[in-house]
């Protein structure tokens, strides 16, 4: 006796894009309804902005002023120095890729891709001329060169850190030049601008505030009441004041109260240097609190043990406490760098020409660009986002690599 086989329907697809849509968006009637409503809402909300973004936006205000956004008023004859500076960073990035791998590899590769994209960006040659494109295109090769170099010769990680530090000083010197150097005429601080000034302000701010912050943090924990009180007062005073107030103070009040015609003139008479001072002081106070957090994380037993081994107080701090404390606060310092990068945009309010100041000047100073506010500010937001996102990515990877979260 035979029974006719039951004919089964084909099974419901649960894999692939259609399956995903079915299980996640239309699993029940309510979900299906919600999906339709949300899609309709998104359509009505986003349609005007997307239409504007893809059809109406006029990017000429950005593309015609690329040089201004990048370096501000940096003299055209000296632009090769900026090119060399970027190449130096690329070379070191290549070396770091090989030596440190990990996050350095991601950055070197991403940097290479971005440089290639920039060199071939489909803009007219008026916006980005052949010479500039060649300078940009050299970078991926230099990154590769650095990588190969580190394969051929052995570069210890410690040496690489020294190289980065030396490059930092070299870069500052190259950008500024000097009256007595043939071939490197002085570039005045007011000629530093655009994205270059934004990056310089935040990097110099972090680097210069690091030793200050460590000193303040150690000082705050000092057993000498005068030192500890001074450091606490300094930190709390600076942290209690918004950065913009500090900037106004250094710009307007400092020249009136500090003596003129002394060796301090390079700060007192220079608006850009005064902004550097304000940002460094501001950043040092926050750095001090970050470092203090790290100092407190070092168990007291270690200090006692070190003392029992006969180390003096200075050596205990230098060899036992600081290395552990600083290792613990690296992610926090990167976080601070991100905040500082965004905070530097406040210098536009005191008429410094960082990338935001340049954007303002372009919109307000030129009748033809006055209608392009949205485009310019959207461009600025995108630039800031790229930098801050890549730094926060680096911070997360560093955290994993250092195992900070796991101890």
Partner 1 sequence: MKQKRFVAFGSLLVVIAIVVAACNGGDATPVVQTVIVQATPEPVSNRLDVVQDRGRLICAGRTDLAGFGFLDSAGINRGFDIDLCRAIAAAIFGDGNALEVVPITASERGPTIQAGEVDVLSRNVTWTSTRDSQWGNYTTIMFYDGQGFMVPKRLGFDSALDLDGTTVCVTSGTTTELNLADFFRQHNLDLETVVFEDTASVYGAYEAGRCDATTSDKSQLAAIRSGFSDPDAHVILPETISKEPLTPVVAHGDDGWFDLVKTVMWVLINAEELGVTQANVEQQRGSDNIVIRRMLGVEGEFGQSDLGLKATFAVDVIKAVGNYGEIYDRYMGPNGESFTLPRQQNELWTNGGLVYAPPLR
The residues of the shown chain that bind partner 1, judged by CB under 8 A, are 64-65, 67-68, 71-74, 76, 169, 172-173, 176-181, 186-190, 193, 204, 208, 211-212, 215, 251-253, 255-256, 260-262, 265-266, 269-271, 273, 276, 312-314, 317-318, 349-353, 357-358, 360-368, 370-371, 373
* Residue number, 220 or 360, with CB nearest to partner 1: 360
Whole-number minimum distance, CB 179 to partner 1, in Å?
4
Q: Are 132 and 108 in contact (CB under 8 A)?
A: no
CB of 129 to partner 1, least distance (A): 12
Closer residue to partner 1 in complex, CB, 155/349 = 349
Neighbours of 242 (CB within 10 A): 11
Compute the least distance from the CB of residue 220 to partner 1, in Å. Answer: 14
Dihedral pair phi/psi, residue 20, rounded to 5°: -65, -45
User: Residue 285 in contact with residue 235, Cβ under 8 Å?
Assistant: yes
Q: Go through the chain and tell me how many residues it has.
A: 407
Furthest-apart CA atoms within the chain: distance in Å:
115
Looking at the Cβ atoms of 23 and 315, the one nearer to partner 1 is: 315
Q: Which is nearer to partner 1, 24 or 190 (CB)?
A: 190
**In angstroms, what is the minimal distance from the CB of 170 to partner 1?**
10
How far are the Cα atoms of 42, 52, 367, 370 from residue 374, in angstroms, in the given order? 21, 10, 15, 10
Q: Name which of 44 and 180 has its Cβ closer to partner 1.
A: 180
Tokens of 251: 């710009």
Write down the least CB distance from residue 359 to partner 1, Å. Answer: 10
State the minimum distance, in angstroms, from the CB of residue 268 to partner 1.
8
**Nearer to partner 1 among residue 177 and residue 335 (C-beta):** 177
Query: Shortest gap between Cβ of 404 and partner 1 (angstroms)?
Result: 26
Contact 96, 157 (CB under 8 A): no
- β-strand partners of 331: none
Nearer to partner 1, 103 or 291 (CB): 291
Cβ proximity of 361 and 376 under 8 Å: no
CB 228 within 8 A of CB 220: yes
CB-based contact 196:70 (threshold 8 Å): yes
Determine the Cα–Cα distance for residues 136 and 132; give it in Å rounded to an integer: 6
Min dist CB 265 to partner 1, Å, is 6
Helix 157-176 × helix 194-220 angle, to 10°: 130
- Residue 341 phi/psi, 5-degree rounding, is -55, -40
Residue 270 has phi, psi (to 5 degrees) of -125, 115
* Closest to 394 measured CA to CA, from 195, 107, 162: 107
Q: Which is nearer to partner 1, 243 or 352 (CB)?
A: 352
The CB-of-225 to partner 1 minimum distance in angstroms stands at 14
- Whether 258 and 187 have beta carbons less than 8 Å apart is answered as no
Which lies closer to partner 1 via its Cβ, residue 295 or residue 352? Answer: 352
């Amino acid at each position: 006796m035979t029974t006719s086989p039951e004919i089964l329907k084909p099974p419901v697809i649960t894999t692939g894009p259609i399956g995903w849509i079915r299980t996640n968006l239309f699993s029940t009637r309510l979900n299906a309804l919600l999906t339709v409503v949300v899609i309709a809402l998104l359509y009505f909300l986003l349609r005007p902005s997307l239409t504007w973004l893809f059809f109406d936006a006029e990017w000429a205000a950005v593309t015609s002023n690329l040089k201004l956004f990048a370096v501000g008023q940096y003299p055209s004859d000296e632009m090769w120095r900026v090119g060399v500076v970027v190449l130096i960073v690329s070379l070191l990035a290549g070396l770091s890729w090989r030596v440190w791998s990990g996050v350095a590899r991601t950055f070197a590769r991403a940097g290479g891709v971005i440089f290639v994209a920039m060199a071939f960006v489909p803009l007219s040659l008026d916006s980005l001329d052949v010479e500039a494109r060649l300078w940009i295109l050299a970078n991926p090769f230099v990154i590769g060169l650095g990588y190969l170099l580190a394969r051929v010769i052995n570069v210890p990680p410690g040496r690489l850190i020294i190289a980065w530090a030396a490059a930092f000083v070299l870069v500052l010197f190259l950008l500024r030049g000097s009256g007595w150097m043939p071939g490197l005429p002085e570039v005045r601080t007011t000629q530093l601008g655009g994205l270059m000034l934004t990056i310089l302000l935040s990097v110099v701010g972090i680097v210069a505030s690091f030793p200050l912050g460590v000193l303040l943090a150690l000082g705050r924990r000092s057993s000498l009441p005068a030192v500890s009180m001074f450091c606490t007062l300094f930190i709390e005073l600076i942290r209690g004041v918004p950065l913009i107030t500090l900037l106004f103070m250094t710009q307007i009040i400092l020249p009136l109260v500090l003596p003129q015609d002394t060796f301090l003139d390079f700060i007192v008479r220079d608006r850009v240097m005064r902004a550097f001072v304000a940002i460094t002081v501001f950043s040092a106070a926050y750095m001090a609190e970050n470092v203090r957090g790290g100092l407190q994380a070092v168990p007291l037993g270690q200090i006692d043990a070190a003392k029992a081994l006969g180390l003096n107080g200075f050596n205990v701090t230098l060899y036992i406490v600081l290395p552990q404390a600083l290792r613990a606060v690296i992610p926090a310092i990167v976080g601070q760098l991100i905040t500082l990068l965004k905070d530097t945009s406040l210098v536009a309010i005191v008429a410094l020409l960082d990338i935001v100041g340049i954007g303002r000047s372009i919109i307000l100073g030129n009748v033809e660009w006055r209608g392009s506010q949205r485009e310019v500010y959207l461009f600025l937001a995108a630039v800031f986002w790229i930098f801050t996102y890549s730094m926060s990515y680096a911070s997360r990877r560093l955290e994993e690599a250092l195992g900070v979260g796991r101890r």
